[in-house]
Structure 1
């Protein structure tokens, strides 16, 4: 008569899954996430019709953090989907893919203890806002896996590891291989990437989906060599910055948010980057110094420390900036890793990235990568940076150039594929000033 807590957790998890075959999964929104965007320049007008511009820059509606809408099914006795009015059709058989996913998912979920189910449910229902702890399961398939695999009509699905199964269930139904997933810094699977490790984390929000193959945009030339086309010099006199704003930003660091960059323990460490936040050509707030291996940069996050852009005040913000700031949401997760600096898009809207190691050598075109929600991209490659800095044929004589600077714009793109030719035309953007090679 009374159902156990475990059964209730399993029902809630199944109801939170992503609908199979949903066209709005990650890859369906952008065939090549991380690519340069549209094939041609945009002709929308930023100043005269910003609403129209937003429709062109962003998808018709933002993809959910989980990768698609929620759905319910009859894994358990109850059915939460109401029947159509005035009709009483017989229950239809589930599609093969849905049945396969159900069998394989349940074979993973039943291996979790109640505590693991609670952590997983917290991450799934918050859409990554509360990432939770690692949910560890044995990497080896259990005895019951053979039965689930035998019932599966997909040979590929039957061989899927546990973290791939749950990533398909809760985030990306179209995910094909575990190699498309990258564990985030701080996860057990990041610290133990070897397949010989007996345990693997199956928390789907501890992984980002790798951006697809990159292809360069058409070879449009930059419009004006006199304009700023490289990472900005923070001392540039044309960029306004008020020291009073920096003071105000320090006075409001209260409540859940704590400034990790100013703690006594981190001050003893050497920093690896500084983060500057810009609104068009105006820098807002002070430089945020990063000492830890990773940092969250966000507008509104239920829990977590980092650089809170929502607490930076500025008088007389334009409506365009206000709308764009509201789209930052959970923001990005930036991490310094052995091979370079990675950015994970935690928000609901795309981010746009440019860095020297993403550019094509000897190409005069700005390469801006579009990163969809839930995707990860290596924004700075240490090895490639060393090669570029020692290349004798590089010539950046048309403006200031910083080989250790990364630019990230929230929701709005720039470059030859957009009407905004320069980063300073974007409403809200970051400049990541790396110190490891300085």
Structure 2
């Protein structure tokens, strides 16, 4: 009975694989068939070593396409032979269920909810615990920081996030004069970022402070926690806004890792982002980058932001500029290459304001 249960789970997983369309050429069809048989043999040998609970977690992740939370699926590190090449098990699983064109481990980045980021013996082969690593076509050049040019963070007062669109700070008011607290009156630490959700030029809901290392921003889901945008909608009846809301779906995940902040696109549509630290110093206006579904990108670098502010040209005639804010639009881009020239023309977008030392 237990063997038949395991076999049924393995068959369900194999059925969910991404099947590539092949040409009518007989030789090509035979080659594809041979490769698929090799893949099937390797994958089945890995899956049959998993415990039933691990197989169930993998089935849950694959069949829900990452919509339902699922645990890590651990296998020993070490490359597996697939024809004339070898690949790590997590790369093969990502090829099978997410991206057929992924070949190397450096193309992938583990997501913050994966518990095996620092594991040296085992590796997680749950494909929805990984993302594709996005790199802008023209990344900024290397930079260096000279300690004598920077004031020690210990000597700086924390900077409250202020929206460049509203000019208002977060809903707690002054952090120094009115420390925030929860319903029990306990002190809460300063949030590392604050989120503002916008529909065109109108902000929907209050500012949302983020204290945990990671936060999900989604439209409407029956499970999970984070910022649910459906509860913040501004009540507009404009068709473009309503359509864009429906496309947000699983939305994005933001998480702080070391001295940087990463964004993972969980939705089925691209998201568009601009950030001071994704561009060269003194760049105006900021480049808008298109991040495809399944990709993650380092949207903000705290150390690079400090350096950029040191080397900035004070004579730039561009008016107010927030060095510590990122803007993310769901499904719709803006800028010179789009019909929308500014982010306030986008139907649904997010402003992320980081709390940094002044």
Instruction: Please give the range of the TM-score, normalised by the shorter of the 2 chains.
Output: 0.7 to 0.9
Contact 1:267 1:291 in 2 (8 A): no
Could you tell me which of 424, 431, 435 is aligned with 2:344?
424
**Distance of aligned partners of 1:428 and 1:289 in 2 relative to their CA distance in 1, 3 Å threshold:** same
Q: What is residue 279 of structure 2 aligned with on the other side?
A: 359
1:271 Cα offset (Å): 1.0
Q: Give 2:77's aligned residue.
A: 139
Structure 1 gap segments, 5+ residues each: 24-90, 217-230, 238-242, 244-260
CA drift of 1:107 comes to 2.3
Q: Higher mean Cα deviation, 12-21 or 410-419? A: 12-21
Selected match of 2:166 from 235, 246, 256? 235
From the superposition, tell whether residues 106 and 212 of structure 1 become closer, same or farther in structure 2 (CA, over 3 Å).
farther
* Alignment-derived partner of residue 149 in structure 2: none
Corresponding residue SS for 2:196? strand
Query: Secondary structure of 2:235's partner?
Result: coil
Aligned to 1:327, the other structure's residue is in SS state: helix
Bigger strand fraction? 2
Alignment-derived partner of residue 123 in structure 1: 61
Aligned to 1:198: 121
Q: Residue 343 of structure 1: SS of its match in structure 2?
A: strand
Larger RCO (CA under 8 A, 6+ residues apart): 1
Partner of 1:161: 88
Moved more, 294-303 or 416-425: 294-303
Shift of 1:138: 1.3
Find 1:401's aligned residue among 321, 335, 356.
321
Tell me which residue corresponds to 2:100: 173
Alignment of 1:377-396 (within 5 A): 377-393=297-313, 395-396=315-316
Q: Pairwise CA RMSD of aligned residues?
A: 2.7
Contact in 2 for aligned 1:352/1:368 (Cα 8 Å): yes
Task: Note the 1:283-302 alignment, pairs <5 A.
Answer: 283-302=203-222
Q: CA distance change for structure 1 residues 212 and 358 in 2, over 3 Å: closer, same or farther?
A: closer
Partner Cα distance (2:58, 2:201) in 1: 42
For structure 2, the 5+ residue unaligned runs are 24-28, 140-161, 172-180
- Runs of at least 4 residues of structure 1 off by over 4 A? 91-94, 261-267
Q: Render the CA deviation track for 1:341-383: whole Å, top value 9, x for unaligned.
A: 0000000000000010012223334300100000000100122
Q: Go from structure 1 to structure 2 and tell me whether the alpha carbon gap of 1:336 and 1:17 turns closer, same or farther (over 3 Å shift).
A: same
> Contact conserved, 1:18 with 1:170, CA < 8 A, in 2?
yes
Listed as ranges, the matches of 1:260-409 within 5 Å are 268-393=188-313, 395-409=315-329
Residues 203/366 of structure 1: CA separation in 2 closer, same or farther (3 Å cut): same
Residues 130 and 302 in structure 1, CA contact (< 8 A), matched pair in contact too: no
- 1:211-251 per-position Cα deviation (integer Å, ceiling 9, x unaligned): 144138xxxxxxxxxxxxxx9524359xxxxx9xxxxxxxx
| Other-structure match for 1:11 | 11
User: What is the rounded CA distance, in whole Å, between the counterparts of 2:8 and 2:187 in structure 1?
Assistant: 46
1:84 aligns to what? none
TM-score (norm 2): 0.82
The structure-2 alpha-carbon separation of the partners of 1:2 and 1:345, relative to structure 1 and needing over 3 Å to count, comes to closer
Q: How many Å separate the matches in 1 of 2:245 and 2:22?
A: 28
Superposed, 1:25-44 pairs within 5 Å as: none
How far 1:154 sits from its partner (Å)? 3.2
- Kept in 1, the 8 Å contact 2:202–2:234? The answer is no
Match of 1:209 in 2: 132
Q: CA deviation at 1:186?
A: 2.7
Residue deviations 1:107-142, cap 9 Å, x none?
22122110000001101111111131111111136x
Q: Distance in 1 between matches of 2:185 and 2:14?
A: 42
Task: Tell me how far apart the structure 2 counterparts of residues 376 and 412 of structure 1 sit (CA, whole Å).
Answer: 18
Say if 1:407 and 1:429, in contact at 8 Å, map to a contact too: yes
Asked if 2 retains the 8 angstrom alpha-carbon contact of 1:188 and 1:200, the reply is: no
Contact 1:266 1:292 in 2 (8 A): no
What is the CA–CA distance in structure 2 between the aligned matches of 1:2 and 1:275, rounded to whole Å? 48
Alpha-carbon displacement from aligned partner over 1:293-325 (angstroms, at most 9, x marks no partner): 000000023421000001224333311100000
